[in-house]
Amino acid sequence: MRNDGVDVSFLSVADGHLSMLHGWLSEPHVRQWWGDPDKELESIRDGCASGEVDGFIFHVDGKPAGYIQSWTPSQYDEPWAKDLPSDTPGVDIFVGPPEMTGKGIAALALKAFAGRLFENGAARIVIDPDAGNRRAVRAYSKAGFVPFGEWIDESGRTLLMELTRTEFERNS
């Protein structure tokens, strides 16, 4: 899918991607927000295998650039998600290679991925960055997401952001 003159593509996570994913999860810019690489890799692998998440390696102009997944927040014990409809997907994303950060790649990949989710029937998509992750919040805003709330608990402050199909289509 071409997005702003850049080709963005998605490959379902496969066993052959696990060592690359682990390397990315070990990078300081990812680990700061995602946590222990071994635990996160296991979570990605198990989630993809069980169908709890739909995980992809995204490529930009043919180069592996990061990881993106969709999931259903209302199926989890996330207090902020208890009132979300069961057909509202959540999205998580990170740019893997450090040299690809700060170039607008996350916003491009997120826009392309949102387009896929809307084509598959989603009316609204949510994302829940740590409020202190300014780089992520900027990227999500560039992709069209807007804040709709926040959640504060012992782990910190989570900014709740959404993108509706109507807004996506208006800005595409």
More confident residue, 152 or 54: 54
> Would you list the domain boundaries of the chain?
2-171
Percent of the chain residues past pLDDT 70, beyond the cut: 98
d(CA 100, CA 127): 21
Mean pLDDT, to the nearest integer, of 129-140?
94
Give pLDDT, residue 6: 77
Chain CA centroid to CA 45, Å: 16
Please say if the pLDDT value at position 155 is more than 90: no
Q: Please, which contacts does 16-24 make with residues 24 or more away whose CB atoms are closer than 8 Å? A: 17/57, 18/45, 20/57, 20/64, 20/96, 21/57, 21/67, 21/96, 23/96, 24/66, 24/67, 24/94, 24/96, 24/97
Mean of all residue pLDDT scores within the chain: 93
Quickly state the pLDDT bin for 78 (edges 50, 70, 90): confident
Mean pLDDT, to the nearest integer, of 129-139?
94
Q: What digits encode the pLDDT tens for the residues 29-58?
A: 999 999 999 999 999 999 999 999 999 999
d(CA 76, CA 67): 21
Mean pLDDT, to the nearest integer, of 137-161?
93
Please say if the pLDDT value at position 4 is more than 90: no
Structure tokens, 161: 């952001």
Give the pTM. Answer: 0.94
Give pLDDT, residue 1: 58
CATH classification code of 2-171: 3.40.630.30
